[in-house]
Amino acid sequence: MNLHYLGAELFHRPRRSLAAFLSMTLGVALLLSLQAYSNGYRLAARAPLAEIGADIAAQRQGKVPQAFEGILFPHSTAPIHSDEIDAMRRIPGVEDVGESVFFWDFEKSGFLVVLGLDPSSNTGPARLKSAVLQGRFLREGDRDFAVADATFGRSKNLSPGSKISVAGRPFELVGLVDTSRIGQVANANIYIMVDEARALAHAAKNVMAVHDFRPTDANIVFIKANQAKVESVAKAVGSVLGSQALISSSQTFRDVIGQAYGLVDRFSWLVGLAGLLIAVVGLVRSISSALRERRRDIGLMRAVGWSRGDVWTQLTGEAVSLAAAGSLAGLVLSVLVSRILSLLRVSIPVPWELSPTPHFLPGGATPMAVSISLSARIDLLPAALAIGLAVLCGLVVGLWISLRATRIRPAEVLRSE
């Protein structure tokens, strides 16, 4: 293949080259941009749970409290027994399990949302250890210590060293944390050690009146799973918890994002490939018209001694070069489009059950949502696939055109009459 001749043909026939180049550019850009958009939403759907280092939140629907006094479990946080948690740990694909005890505390002095957590865990609200604004976070072995949500703490004039009462038991505040760092999942006013939360719940008469809560139980379990198995793990966890299971995963968030995303997610490859197909049709039309324009040149090639292989290589090289250049430009364009898409913010609704607040309290029924930037990035694999596919299409088109070209009879096209 002669690169100089190739360059001259592409450069000196700008309309034809530009048409083929632009159709490949737009085809590849459409394919990759749709992928980036779809990926962005997929990542966004993972965000609420990913912010607390989990892929799945497991809860169980239970009975509604009978009396709003002392410690209560919201009806979406019925007990999950320790044998059930052990069964979850054994599910293939489960990498880590974080246990929490979530409860409301109605006291004469006011209302509290309390969460018991294991500070040594990296899965679940213990991730708040990286969101300490003042003082310190809870540590293993702590007793009668608590940390407070910074907004709640400020509203109550709390600071490290302050005392706070949970179900009549005093706790010393050791730190203030920025709860917004873990999105809207399992938000609480006060965080205490999980064993102390268990003991308090087990001793609460309004809990025990409607639930069989044992001292080793939890009522929200956070699960980190192998990314390839998240959905199968979620299904298995649901089976462990039975018909009252409340399972949240990226899939459940995707379901609530809406139909528009669902369509994009389902059909992004299809629409993208259709775009690429249209681009290939553009390439075929452009190169076919070039073939008509260049019949004499091709006849001349054969007349002055080019073999059929030489003609094939030259014409295929031109088609492949156009496809490669167009697809690389498409990649650049799709990176620009993905940057623009990344300026969009996506609001992911968080179900009430994941961070329950009594409906009758101010703001208790307000729908919650996590607002995050759409992380629409171009992944290496789809980019390589799209460019590879475009170049392959260029190769096929080039070979087809070359085959037609070698059927041209030089004596016919070089006649002067």
Partner 1 sequence: MNELLKCIDLCKSFGRLEVVRGVNLSLPERSFSAIMGRSGSGKTTLLHLISALEAPTSGSLYFAGEQISALNEDRLALWRRQHIGLVFQAFHLVATLSALENVAFPLYPMKLRPEERRELARARLEQVGLGHRLEHRPSRLSGGEQQRVAIARALINRPTLILADEPTGNLDKKNGEEILDLFKKLNEVGGVAVIVVTHDSEVAAVAKHSFTMVDGRLEEGST
Q: How far apart, in whole angstroms, are the C-alpha atoms of residue 105 and residue 111? A: 6
Tokens 């990296």 identify what position? Answer: 122
Shortest distance in whole angstroms from residue 277 CB to partner 1: 30
- For partner 1, the closer of residues 303 and 403 by Cβ is 303
Least distance between partner 1 and beta carbon 35 (Å) = 37
**Cα 189 to Cα 178, 273, 339, 349, distances in angstroms:** 11, 50, 37, 21
Output the smallest distance, CB 317 to partner 1, in A.
Answer: 12
Closer residue to partner 1, CB minimum distance, 13 or 75: 13
User: Which amino acid would we find at residue 111?
Assistant: F
Nearer to partner 1 by Cβ, of 143 and 409: the residue is: 409
Q: Report the interface residues with partner 1, using CB under 8 A.
A: 2, 4-5, 8-9, 11-13, 296-297, 299-310, 314, 409-411, 414-417
Q: Is 366 exposed, middle or buried (0-12, 13-18, 19+ CB in 10 A)?
A: exposed
- Give 348's contacts (C-beta < 8 A, 6+ positions apart): 44, 45, 47, 48, 253, 256, 257, 369, 370, 371, 372
CB of 301 to partner 1, least distance (A): 8
Give CA 335 to chain center in angstroms.
18
Quote the least distance from Cβ 318 to partner 1, whole Å.
Answer: 11
User: Considering beta carbons, is residue 100 or 314 the nearer one to partner 1?
Assistant: 314
By beta-carbon proximity to partner 1, the closer residue of 2 and 155 is: 2
The pair phi, psi for residue 158, each rounded to 5°, is -95, 150
Closest contact distance (angstroms) between CB of 411 and partner 1 is: 4
Q: Where are the alpha helices (DSSP H) in 203-249?
A: 205-208, 230-241
CB of 300 to partner 1, least distance (A): 5
> Which CB atom, from 287 or from 386, has the smaller least distance to partner 1?
287
* CA proximity to 409, closest of 259, 287, 301: 301
Q: How far is the CB of 297 from partner 1 (least distance, A)?
A: 5
Polymer length in residues for the chain: 417
Q: How many helices (H) and strands (E) does the chain have?
A: 13, 13
Cβ distance to partner 1 smaller for residue 11 or 360: 11
Cα separation, 300 vs 239, in Å, equals 74
What is the smallest separation between the CB atom of 311 and partner 1, expressed in angstroms?
9
- Return the structure tokens found at 416: 């002067």
Q: Indicate the residue among 4 and 90 with the shorter CB distance to partner 1.
A: 4
Task: Measure the CA angle with vertex 326, ends 321 and 330; round to 5°.
Answer: 150
Q: Report the alpha-carbon distance of residue 270 to residue 185 in Å, rounded.
A: 35
- Per residue, the 3-state secondary structure of 153-179, as one string, reads HHHCCCCCCCEEEECCEEEEEEEEECH
Q: Indicate the residue among 226 and 307 with the shorter CB distance to partner 1.
A: 307
